[in-house]
Each structure stands twice: as structure tokens, then as C-alpha cells.
């Protein structure tokens, strides 16, 4: 008899739970996945097979870290800018930006309103160029990083170098810039304004030459091999002579060569 009562109690509790679940709004259901980590409000929707971001997400204004990696996102709606408290946005592994393995190809300009954002991961997407809104994210600085490991196909035209000069200057405190695994053919001179860079990863692109001004990046101390090593990652490109030969003498040899040109 006791066992029978226990079973009835379990069934009653299940009915109550289902009732509570039915009473939740969609926003409440998503909010239940948020956790507090190291003082931040964190939500991970990674590996959910998302093709679109749930509309209810834009109501979670308290979010500070958002992980949308490893989905199938192709577009990020401008409403993302409503999450003005975000300090970390992980889009790695999609195929549009650099949200891991998604399918992003661009970012909405409204993301420039995410002025608190300190870490942005856009790797392994289909972005054709570094989105302009990135350059307005002034909190991407010091020991923070921009990761744009995506399949870019953009050549930096001479006609827009002055514009790039201004946008790169907005990130003068940046220490880490990763643009590996794209199809970049050349580098803008404006890149050399980022003189605080300690890690610049340009590997696995289609770069054949470097701008003469690159010797200004004096905080790049060595040619690096491991993806997270500080220094300049560039040798895994189809570099042409004389740059390819000069690099055999190390980074200091390259910088000395560029100063002399």
C-alpha cells in the first residue's frame, strides 16, 4: 500500500510540473537556461541546430555572455543590439561571421551599439570582410581580442584604405587579431596602425606580400607556429619572393627588410 501511495505521489508531482511548464512563457523557458557564472548572466544556445535566433531572446536584456556557437545561423537580426549588456558574444562555428560553424556572411550595423562588448568570436563563417560595426565596439581592447577566422574573399581596395585607416584607429588598444582560414589576398596599410598587437594570426589565407609599414608592429616579437602563441603567424601563405626568403631569417629580418625598402 505504501508503494502504491508513493507512485500516486510521483504521478501527482509530474502533473504539477507539467502544469508549471505550460504556464511558462517562451521567454521564461529560455531564461531557465541562463546561469550565473563568475558574476555574469550567461546563456548558452550552442549546438541547438538553430537556423534563426528565437525572437524571445531579445527580451533577456540582463544577458552579459551569449553563446550561439555551432549552429546553422545565416543572418543575425539587428535586434541583437538590444542586448546592450553583452560583454561576450560567441558566434563561432556558424558560416556567416565567426560563430563556430554557422553560416554567417555579414553582421547587422546595429551591433555597433554593443559598446560593452569585449570579446567577439566570428570564426569559421562566410564573411567577405571584417564587418564595419566591429570597429565601433570600443571595448574590444587591451587583453581582449577579435577573432575573424572565417572564409573571407575580400581584396582590400586602394580606394577604401582611408576608410580602413579610420576604422582601425578605433581599435588601437587591440592586442589579439586572428583572421586565419580565410581567403584574404592582401592586407590594408591601416592594419599597421594597431601597434599594440601582440598576436596577429594571418595563416591559411592567400597572402602573397605584406605592406611595408608592417615593421611598425614592433610588439610582435617572433614568427609564431602554435595558433595561440604570441607573435606573427604568416608563413602558411603562398608568399612570394623576396618576402618568403627574408622570413627564413625570422621576424626581425623581415622588419629590417621592410624598413630598408
Backbone CA torsion sign across 202, 203, 206, 210: positive
Q: What is the pLDDT of residue 146?
A: 54
**What total number of domains does the chain contain?**
2
What is the per-residue pLDDT for 152? 37
Structure confidence at residue 55 (pLDDT): 85
Q: Which residue has the cell 556558424?
A: 94
Residue 157, pLDDT score: 36
Query: How much is the CA Rg of the chain, to the nearest whole Å?
Result: 23
List, run by run, the mean pLDDT of 10-residue segments along the chain (261 residues).
55 50 63 91 90 87 90 79 86 53 61 72 60 66 47 36 54 77 79 89 90 96 86 95 94 96 85
Query: What pTM was estimated for this model as a whole?
Result: 0.55
Q: Are residues 48 and 25 in the same domain?
A: no
Question: Can you give the pLDDT at residue 206?
Answer: 87
Residue 138: the pLDDT is 64
Same domain, 222 and 197: yes
pLDDT at position 18 is 45
CATH code, domain carrying 100: 3.80.10.10
Q: In the structure grid, which three cell numbers stand for residue 107, read together?
A: 553582421
pLDDT at 128: 53
Distances (CA, A) of 104 to 28, 100, 135, 174: 28, 10, 18, 24
Range of the domain at 4: 1-32
| Beta-carbon count within 10 A of 33 CB | 11
pLDDT at 100: 37
- The answer on 190 and 68 residing in a single domain is yes
- Torsions phi, psi for 166 (to 5 deg): -70, -40
Burial of residue 244, with CB atoms counted within 10 A of its CB: 0-12 exposed, 13-18 middle, 19 or more buried: middle
My answer on whether 233 and 129 are in the same domain is yes
Give yes or no: residues 18 and 87 share one domain.
no
Nearest Cα to Cα of residue 202 among 222, 175, 182: 182
Q: Do 162 and 194 belong together in one domain?
A: yes
The answer on 143 and 22 residing in a single domain is no
pLDDT at 23: 42
Amino acid at each position: 500500500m505504501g508503494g502504491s501511495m508513493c507512485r500516486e505521489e510521483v504521478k501527482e508531482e509530474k502533473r504539477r510540473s507539467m502544469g508549471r511548464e505550460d504556464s511558462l512563457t517562451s521567454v521564461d523557458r529560455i531564461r531557465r537556461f541562463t546561469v550565473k557564472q563568475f558574476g555574469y548572466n550567461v546563456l548558452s544556445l550552442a549546438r541547438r541546430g538553430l537556423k534563426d535566433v528565437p525572437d524571445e531572446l531579445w527580451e533577456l536584456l540582463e544577458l552579459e555572455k551569449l553563446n550561439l556557437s555551432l549552429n546553422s545561423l545565416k543572418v543575425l537580426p539587428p535586434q541583437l543590439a538590444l542586448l546592450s549588456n553583452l560583454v561576450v558574444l560567441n558566434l563561432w562555428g556558424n558560416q556567416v561571421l565567426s560563430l563556430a560553424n554557422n553560416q554567417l556572411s555579414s553582421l547587422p550595423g546595429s551591433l555597433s551599439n554593443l559598446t560593452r562588448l569585449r570579446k567577439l568570436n566570428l570564426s569559421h563563417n562566410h564573411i567577405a570582410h571584417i564587418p564595419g560595426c566591429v570597429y565601433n565596439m570600443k571595448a574590444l581592447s587591451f587583453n581582449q581580442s577579435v577573432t575573424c577566422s572565417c572564409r573571407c574573399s575580400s581584396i582590400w581596395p586602394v580606394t577604401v584604405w582611408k576608410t580602413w585607416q579610420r576604422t582601425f584607429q578605433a581599435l588601437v588598444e587591440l592586442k589579439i587579431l586572428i583572421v586565419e582560414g580565410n581567403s584574404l589576398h592582401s592586407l590594408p596599410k591601416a592594419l599597421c596602425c594597431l601597434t599594440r598587437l601582440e598576436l596577429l594570426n594571418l595563416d591559411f589565407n592567400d597572402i602573397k606580400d605584406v605592406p611595408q609599414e608592417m615593421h611598425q608592429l614592433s610588439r610582435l616579437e617572433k614568427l609564431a607556429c602554435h595558433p595561440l602563441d604570441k607573435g606573427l603567424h604568416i608563413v602558411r601563405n603562398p608568399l612570394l619572393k623576396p618576402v618568403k626568403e627574408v622570413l627564413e631569417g625570422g621576424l626581425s629580418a623581415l622588419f629590417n627588410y621592410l624598413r630598408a625598402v
